[in-house]
C-alpha cells in the first residue's frame, strides 16, 4: 500500500513536470558554439525542412529587472517571433488574458486615393514606408545597428520592377570590396512584395565609393547609415537615391520614426499621416511625389507589448494594459554603447499585452515574452539571436530528429574526412620510417628520456590546421538535458523511497515468518505423521512456502486495493501545494501499471525468500520428534 502510493505520487510529479515544462519549453534547442548567431536564416530553413521537425523559431533570452511602480522582480525576457512561436510552444492555449498577436509591432496602414495613414506604430521603431510602382504602400523595419569604428553601414533597397542588372559598390580606384545582388531585394516589387525587405546589409570602411552601373561616386563618413534605393527611372533606366543619416539614435520615448520612399515612376502627390490609435487625431508626416524620399520624421507611437507569467504579474501587481519598465545593464554589442563612465544600465517601457499561466512555477514566476525585434532593438544587437527552438513530431524518437538536424545543419564533408585521413597517414609514415628515432628521439633509458620521446611523437602527430576531432558548429540539446537536474532528483527520490518502503515490506515478510513459526510449532505432530506416511522434506518445504506465498498474495492484493483507494482520494481531494516550494500547485498522483506490477512481484519475492527460513525449519522436523509431541 505504502509503496504503491509513494511511487504513484512520484510518477505524478514527474509526469506533471514534464507536461508543464513542455507547455512553454521547446523539444530541442539549437545554439551556436560561438557567441554570435547572426546569419541564422539559412540554418532555420534547413531545420524546418528536416524530417521529423514540426516547427522552428528563433529566440533570444536575457535576464533583466522588471518594474511596475514600487514593485520589482527579476525575470528572464525571451524574444519570440509571434508568427512562428506557436509552431513550437503552445503559448496561445496558456493565455489567461490578452492575446499572443498583441506582441506584433506591424503598424496599421490605411491607403486611400492621394493619402496613406499609419496607425499603431510601436515606440522606438524606425520605419521606411515604401510606395511601390503600383501605389501600394508597404512598411519595412530599419535596424538601426551602430557600425564599428571607422565604418559605415550600407543597405540596399531595390524597388525596380525588373532587377536584372546587379548593383555593386566598389572602392574608388580599387577592386570591389562589397557587392549587393539585386535579387536580394527584388522581391520588394511585384507579386512577391510580402516576402521581401531590405537587401543585405554590409559594413564598409569610410571613404569614397563608386556605384555601378550608374557610375555615381559619393563619400561615406564613419558612423553613418546609408540606404541605397534603386528605382525605375522615367526613361526605363534605373535611378538611385542615397539616404544618409547619422548612426546616433535620438530618444524615442512615445514616438517612432518614419521616412517615405516613393518608388512610382509617375502619378499624383500622396499625403502621409500618422496617429497613435484609431481614436487619436491625425498628425501630418509628409507629402511625396514619384521618385522622392523624405528624412525620418517622428510620429506618435504606442508602447511595445510584453507577456507576463501569472505569478510574475501577481508579484508586480500588474494587469493587462499596465506600463512596465525593463532595466538591463547590457546596452550593446562590442561596447558600442559604452559611455564615459562605463556601461550604464538601459531601460525601456512596455505595455502588458497578456498574462499566461503554464502551471509550472518557474515559468510563471520568472518568464516574460516580448517581440524578437523589440529585444534586438532594445539591446542594440541587430539581427543576432541566441538559439533556435525546435518542436519534434515524435517526442519518443526525439534522438532520431536530433541526429537528422545535426546532419542537416552541420554536415561533415567527405573532402574534409579524406584530407584528415591522408594527413594522419603521412604523419604515421614519418613516425615509423627508418632513421627517425636516432635523429628525433633520444635513448629511453631514463624516465625523462621516455617523456621526451613521447612528446616528440605527439608533436609529430598533431594536425597543424585543425585537430583531428571534428568541431561541431552547433550544440543541440533536448528538454530533458536542460532540466536534467530536476528529473535526476526525481529519479533519485524514487529510488530512495522505493528502497525505504521495500524495507517495510521486508519487515512484513518476517511477520509472516513469525506466524509460520507458531503454526509449525502447533503442527509438529501433523508434520511427523506426513513424514511417517512417506512425505519428503522438499514437499514439506513446498507446503509452508505456498502458505507464506498465499498470505503474502492476500496481503499484497489488500494493500494494493487500499493504496489505489488512497490514490483516488488524492485526485479527488486535489490537495494544494505551495508552488514556490514544489513548483506545482497541487499534489499529483499517476498510476503506472508497470510499477504496480513490480510492487506486487517485489512483495511476493521478498516473502518467498524470507519464508524459506520457516519452511526450512518445518522440513527439518524428524518423525521421532513429531511423534513425541502426539498427545
Segment 400-435, tens digit of pLDDT: 888 888 888 887 666 666 666 766 677 666 666 555
pTM confidence score: 0.71
Q: What angle do CA 313, 108, 292 make, to 5 degrees?
A: 135
Compute the distance between CA of residue 141 and CA of residue 157 in angstroms, rounded to an integer: 12
534: pLDDT strictly greater than 70: yes
152: pLDDT strictly greater than 90: no
Asked whether 519 and 548 are in contact (CB, 8 A), the reply is no
- Residue 58: pLDDT band (50, 70, 90) is very high
Compute the distance between CA of residue 121 and CA of residue 630 in angstroms, rounded to an integer: 104
Q: Tell me the C-alpha to C-alpha distance, in Å, between residue 468 and each of 33, 133, 343, 471, 473.
A: 18, 56, 41, 9, 15
196: pLDDT strictly greater than 80: no
Count of all residues that appear for the chain in the document: 631
396: pLDDT strictly greater than 70: yes
Q: What is the per-residue DSSP string for 376-417?
A: HHHTT--S-BSEEEEEES-STTHHHHHHHHHHHHS---HHHH
pLDDT of residue 335: 43
- DSSP structure class, residue 586: B
464: pLDDT strictly greater than 50: no
40: pLDDT strictly greater than 60: yes
341: pLDDT strictly greater than 50: no
pLDDT of residue 306: 92
Compute the distance between CA of residue 591 and CA of residue 322 in angstroms, rounded to an integer: 44
- Residue 368: pLDDT band (50, 70, 90) is very high
Q: Which residue has the higher pLDDT, 263 or 109?
A: 109
47: pLDDT strictly greater than 80: yes
- Residue 444: pLDDT band (50, 70, 90) is low
269: pLDDT strictly greater than 50: yes
pLDDT of residue 307: 93
Q: Which residue has the higher pLDDT, 538 or 421?
A: 538
Q: Is 585 helix (H, G, I), strand (E, B) or coil?
A: coil
Q: What is the mean pLDDT of residues 171-187?
A: 53
Cis preceding linkage at 131, omega within 30: no
Q: Which residue has the cell 503600383?
A: 134
Helices (H) and strands (E) in the chain, counts: 16, 26
Q: Tell me the C-alpha to C-alpha distance, in Å, between residue 43 and each of 58, 123, 201, 447, 477.
A: 10, 31, 18, 52, 16
Q: What is the mean pLDDT of residues 182-209?
A: 54
Kind of pairing, strands 238-246 and 207-212?
unpaired
Compute the distance between CA of residue 107 and CA of residue 302 in angstroms, rounded to an integer: 10
Q: Is 371 helix (H, G, I), strand (E, B) or coil?
A: strand
Compute the distance between CA of residue 494 and CA of residue 9 in angstroms, rounded to an integer: 10
Share of the chain above pLDDT 70, in %: 77
Asked whether 559 and 1 are in contact (CB, 8 A), the reply is yes
Kind of pairing, strands 270-275 and 297-300?
unpaired
Q: What is the per-residue DSSP string for 83-133?
A: TTGGGTS--GGGEEEE-GGGG--PPEEEEETTEEEEE-PBTT-EEEEEE-T
- Residue 229: pLDDT band (50, 70, 90) is confident
Q: Tell me the C-alpha to C-alpha distance, in Å, between residue 496 and each of 115, 486, 499, 608, 613.
A: 73, 15, 5, 23, 27
Question: What are the φ/ψ torsions at residue 155 (nearest 5 degrees)?
Answer: -130, 145
Q: What is the mean pLDDT of residues 531-558?
A: 85
pLDDT of residue 439: 45
H or E segment at 260?
strand 255-262
Kind of pairing, strands 346-356 and 305-309?
parallel
250, three cell numbers: 535620438
Q: Which residue has the higher pLDDT, 252 or 542?
A: 542
- Residue 193: pLDDT band (50, 70, 90) is very low
pLDDT of residue 340: 45
229, three cell numbers: 534605393
Asked whether 579 and 361 are in contact (CB, 8 A), the reply is yes
Amino acid at each position: 500500500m505504502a509503496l504503491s502510493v509513494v511511487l504513484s505520487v512520484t510518477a505524478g510529479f514527474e509526469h506533471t513536470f514534464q507536461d508543464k515544462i513542455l507547455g512553454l519549453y521547446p523539444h530541442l534547442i539549437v545554439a551556436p558554439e560561438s557567441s554570435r548567431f547572426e546569419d541564422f536564416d539559412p540554418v532555420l530553413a534547413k531545420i524546418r525542412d528536416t524530417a521529423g521537425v514540426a516547427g522552428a523559431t528563433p529566440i533570444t533570452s536575457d535576464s533583466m529587472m522588471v518594474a511596475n511602480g514600487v514593485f520589482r522582480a527579476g525575470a528572464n525576457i525571451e524574444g519570440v517571433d509571434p508568427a512562428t512561436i506557436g509552431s513550437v510552444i503552445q503559448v496561445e492555449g496558456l493565455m489567461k488574458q490578452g492575446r499572443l498577436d498583441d506582441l506584433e509591432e506591424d503598424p496599421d496602414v490605411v491607403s486611400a486615393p492621394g493619402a496613406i495613414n499609419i496607425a499603431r506604430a510601436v515606440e522606438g521603431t524606425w520605419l521606411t514606408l515604401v510606395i511601390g510602382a503600383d501605389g501600394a504602400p508597404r512598411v519595412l523595419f530599419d535596424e538601426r545597428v551602430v557600425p564599428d569604428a571607422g565604418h559605415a553601414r550600407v543597405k540596399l533597397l531595390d524597388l525596380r520592377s525588373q532587377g536584372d542588372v546587379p548593383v555593386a559598390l566598389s572602392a574608388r580606384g580599387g577592386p570591389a570590396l562589397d557587392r549587393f545582388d539585386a535579387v536580394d531585394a527584388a522581391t520588394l516589387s511585384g507579386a512577391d512584395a510580402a516576402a521581401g525587405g531590405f537587401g543585405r546589409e554590409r559594413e564598409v570602411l569610410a571613404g569614397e565609393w563608386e556605384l555601378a552601373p550608374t557610375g555615381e561616386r559619393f563619400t561615406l563618413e564613419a558612423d553613418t547609415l546609408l540606404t541605397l534605393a534603386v528605382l525605375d527611372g522615367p526613361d526605363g533606366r534605373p535611378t538611385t537615391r542615397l539616404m544618409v543619416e547619422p548612426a546616433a539614435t535620438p530618444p524615442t520615448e512615445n514616438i517612432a520614426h518614419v521616412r517615405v520612399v516613393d518608388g512610382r515612376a509617375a502619378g499624383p502627390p500622396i499625403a502621409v499621416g500618422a496617429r497613435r490609435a484609431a481614436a487619436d487625431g491625425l498628425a501630418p508626416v509628409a507629402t511625396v511625389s514619384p521618385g522622392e524620399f523624405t528624412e525620418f520624421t517622428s510620429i506618435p507611437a504606442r508602447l511595445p507589448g510584453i507577456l507576463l507569467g501569472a505569478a510574475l504579474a501577481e508579484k508586480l501587481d500588474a494587469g493587462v494594459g499596465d506600463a512596465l519598465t525593463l532595466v538591463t545593464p547590457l546596452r550593446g554589442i562590442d561596447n558600442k554603447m559604452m559611455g564615459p563612465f562605463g556601461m550604464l544600465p538601459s531601460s525601456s517601457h512596455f505595455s502588458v499585452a497578456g498574462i499566461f499561466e503554464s502551471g509550472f512555477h518557474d515559468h510563471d514566476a520568472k518568464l516574460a515574452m516580448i517581440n524578437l525585434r523589440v529585444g534586438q532593438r532594445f539591446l542594440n544587437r541587430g539581427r543576432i539571436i541566441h538559439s533556435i527552438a525546435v518542436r519534434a513530431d515524435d517526442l519518443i524518437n526525439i534522438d532520431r530528429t536530433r541526429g537528422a538536424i545535426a546532419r542537416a545543419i552541420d554536415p561533415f564533408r567527405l573532402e574534409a574526412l579524406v584530407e584528415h585521413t591522408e594527413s594522419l597517414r603521412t604523419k604515421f609514415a614519418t613516425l615509423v620510417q627508418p632513421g627517425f628515432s636516432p635523429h628525433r628521439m633520444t635513448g629511453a633509458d631514463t624516465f625523462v628520456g621516455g617523456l621526451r620521446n613521447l612528446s616528440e611523437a605527439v608533436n609529430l602527430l598533431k594536425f597543424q590546421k585543425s585537430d583531428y576531432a571534428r568541431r561541431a558548429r552547433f550544440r543541440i540539446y533536448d528538454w530533458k538535458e536542460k532540466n536534467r537536474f530536476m528529473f535526476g532528483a526525481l529519479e533519485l527520490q524514487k529510488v530512495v523511497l522505493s528502497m525505504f518502503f521495500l524495507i517495510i515490506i521486508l519487515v512484513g515478510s518476517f511477520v509472516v515468518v513469525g506466524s509460520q513459526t507458531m503454526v509449525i510449532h502447533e503442527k509438529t505432530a501433523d508434520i511427523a505423521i506426513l513424514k511417517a506416511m512417506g512425505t519428503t522434506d522438499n514437499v514439506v518445504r513446498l507446503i509452508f512456502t505456498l502458505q507464506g506465498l498465499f498470505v503474502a498474495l492476500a496481503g499484497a492484493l489488500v494493500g494494493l486495493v487500499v493504496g489505489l483507494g488512497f490514490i483516488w482520494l488524492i485526485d479527488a481531494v486535489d490537495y494544494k501545494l505551495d508552488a514556490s516550494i514544489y513548483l506545482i500547485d497541487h499534489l499529483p498522483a499517476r498510476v503506472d501499471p508497470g510499477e504496480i506490477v513490480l510492487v506486487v512481484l517485489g512483495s511476493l519475492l521478498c516473502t518467498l525468500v524470507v519464508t524459506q527460513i520457516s519452511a526450512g525449519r518445518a522440513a527439518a522436523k524428524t518423525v521421532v520428534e513429531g511423534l513425541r509431541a502426539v498427545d
